[in-house]
Structure 1
Amino acid sequence: MSGTSGRLLSLLSLLQARRDWPGQVLAERLGVSGRTVRRDVDRLRDLGYPIHATLGPDGGYRLAPGTDLPPLLFDDEQAVALAIALQLAATSGAGITDGAARALATLRQVMPTRLRHRVDSVRLTAIPQAPSSPPVDAAALLAVSDAVRSREVLRFDYRSDQAQADGEPGPARRVQPHHLLARGGRWYLLGWDLDRADWRTFRVERMVPRTPTGPRFAPREVPGGDAAAFVAARFKGSDGDDAWPCRGEVLLDLPAAEVAPYASEGTVEAVAPSRCRVTLGAWSWHSLAATVARFDATFEVVGPPELARALDVLSARFATAAASFDHGGTTDAGPRSSRRRAGHRTG
């Protein structure tokens, strides 16, 4: 690479690294005169880079947004990070899988051999986490995001499951949009519902934004100050902290190593080679009781009493369901064999 070409790439890399650069500092970093820096800036402008001169005692330069997308320059770490992020686009639920694949192919084509080998070593197949959920329309996602950024009231039709099945648009809503969040392959809007005077969470793939948007609003403080924690708590059925409203403890007749991979957010403590103490949470006591039962082993309830009562209720329901079933022709393979059939290997 010639000295001029290499210097232009170095200059472009510096301009992309921070907002403002004094001309003299650029000259010192590149080991050239201020006059050469001015000429190189003009060359980059001819290539389509919108570089603005800044005023002040020292004078300087700023790489600004333009009307077209000029060639970009990434360092090694940025290029690899971008390639991995593009491969994970299928898990985002944003409906950009095809666009991300084309972008990755374009990026890979212009990568130097050493970077291409690094990216190829982490080639992966991204599995969407919520395959039953339709992808979010990119235009709707942008409309919601713009309203959040602009602090403008968002008007939209919200399609419930029944409305989607009937082909109906769903009820109209008026919301002050505060945060756009991604969770488990789905996108959610957290906003203040003007008609219900309360915080609400909406699935973006069910939203049909209306135009124009409403008036601007002053943002409110999300309870607790953390939008992600607030929404996570709502998913757990809690109106307060990000914690399950129902928590219980049992002694399970299984080795801790067998239980730990399936305990999710719970804690597992070994108390004997084939016995462990498990603390779990759920949105209701009956859900917690069912969660404990799924380990397919005998157990002892440590507490609280609500968990024991929920187990009594489920026991009666299970007994009734089993009594109503015709067992003719069925076989019992035993609890251990059924667990092995239903499970899977982990690394």
Structure 2
Amino acid sequence: MAKTSHRALRLLSLLGSDRRWPLRELATRLGASERTIRRDIETLRQLDYPIITVHGPDGGYQLGDGHTLPPLLFDHDQALAVAVALQTAPSTMFGLGDDTARALATLQQVMPTALRASMESLRLTRLQNYWEFPSPPIDPAALTVVGSAVRHRHLLVIETLRPDGTRPEPGDPDFLPARRVEPYHLVVWAGRWYLVAYDLTDDQWRVHRVDRLHPRPTTQPFTARELPSEDLAHFVMRTYDRGDTPAAWQCTGTAKLNLPTHVVARWAPGGSVVEHLDSDHCRLTLGAWSWAGVAGILATFDTELTDLHPPELVQACRLLAHRWATITDTGENPDSPA
């Protein structure tokens, strides 16, 4: 009986993952025969879980609307996933570190003994990499407003904040009038939250940094239009005008690159800023722990560099060029595997 109940709970967990499961795949995942899985499905139906049978080549089983799953329905792998996710969550919202720690402690208290032991075995320390440039933490209330507008397809009124999160007053150089946008999708990239939206002020698609928005909700619905790309994450990565500001580094420099803006925006490291000059050129502002580091990153774009600033960056480029020019052949076959 215990084995049957455990299998039924795992079955319910799979069906609750918002996808359609072929009978054969369910049997494989649960290590039981297809006949046994059919019997378990009927048992769950008798307990008022609305399990739908979809016929045809793409058919299978899925959980219908209006269901209520038992609380904390986790299997072993899900428990480990929750423990890892909560301990490695980036601190991109106010108070998220404290909230995730409390959430993990609460879950562990009500977990079955075996699952609690698995979660407690994954105590870890998350260290920020030097190349991680998270944005200033976002107010959860603002993120909720944006997320709700995306979900319900309601117009959003936004004001743009300064990089430090303050609101510029009318007359300030940084002041922009409030804009009405159609919010479509949230993308998290390089430690930053971005909103893909259609701007009704100038009738074009834009990418906004959520931490630099003061959003105001509306109840006015809008009709979804054709998206600018099938892959909105890629759209965000190749969009240069997305509200980014240079990260704080010991050394920060700029250079004009003989490459289109969208190419550089896609591959520039987080914490850099790309400025559009013309269809074939852009300006990249970026930083590193040394001037040689800035020069080395610029070299990865494999293109002509002009108009470099400051002079320390120019000197670092010349120094690296000299070092690379004096590299001698080691005598090894360059075609041999490393």
TM-score range, shorter chain: 0.5 to 0.7
CA distance in 2, matches of 1:296, 1:146: 52
Structure 1 position 159 matched with structure 2 position 165: no
CA distance in 1, matches of 2:297, 2:320: 20
| Corresponding residue of 2:6 | 6
| Corresponding residue of 2:194 | 188
Structure 1 position 233 matched with structure 2 position 241: no
Residues 115/57 of structure 1: CA separation in 2 closer, same or farther (3 Å cut): same
- Stretches of structure 1 that go unaligned for 5 or more consecutive residues are 46-50, 249-258, 268-277, 303-347
Higher helix share: 1
Deviation at 1:297, TM superposition (A): 3.4
Residues 246/104 of structure 1: CA separation in 2 closer, same or farther (3 Å cut): same
Deviation at 1:173, TM superposition (A): 0.7
Structure 1, 179-188 or 57-66: larger mean CA deviation = 57-66
Q: Which amino acid aligns with 2:20?
A: R
| Corresponding residue of 2:87 | 87
Count the aligned residue pairs: 272
CA distance in 1, matches of 2:203, 2:261: 18
CA distance in 2, matches of 1:12, 1:150: 28
SS of 1:90's partner is coil
CA distance in 2, matches of 1:288, 1:228: 33
Deviation at 1:216, TM superposition (A): 0.9
SS of 1:286's partner is strand
Q: Is the 8 A contact 1:10 1:30 kept in 2?
A: no
Deviation at 1:101, TM superposition (A): 1.9
Q: Which amino acid aligns with 1:227?
A: L
Deviation at 1:137, TM superposition (A): 2.0
Q: Which amino acid aligns with 1:71?
A: P
1:1-347 equivalence runs, <5 A? 2-16=2-16, 18-19=19-20, 29=33, 32=36, 37-43=41-47, 51-54=49-52, 62-64=62-64, 70-93=70-93, 96-109=96-109, 110=111, 112=115, 115-116=118-119, 118-120=121-123, 122-125=124-127, 129-130=132-133, 133-160=135-162, 164=166, 171-222=177-228, 226-235=231-240, 240-243=261-264, 245=281, 263-264=296-297, 266-267=299-300, 279=302, 285-287=307-309, 291=313, 293-294=315-316, 297=319, 299=321
CA distance in 1, matches of 2:61, 2:299: 54
Deviation at 1:113, TM superposition (A): 6.2
Deviation at 1:37, TM superposition (A): 4.9
Q: How many percent identity over aligned positions?
A: 33
- TM-score when normalising by structure 2: 0.58
Q: Which amino acid aligns with 1:263?
A: G
Q: Is the 8 A contact 2:181 2:200 kept in 1?
A: yes
Residues 94/187 of structure 1: CA separation in 2 closer, same or farther (3 Å cut): farther
- Stretches of structure 2 that go unaligned for 5 or more consecutive residues are 242-256, 266-280, 285-291, 325-338
Between structure 1 and structure 2, the one with the greater Rg is: 1
Residues 99/199 of structure 1: CA separation in 2 closer, same or farther (3 Å cut): same
Q: Is the 8 A contact 1:93 1:187 kept in 2?
A: no
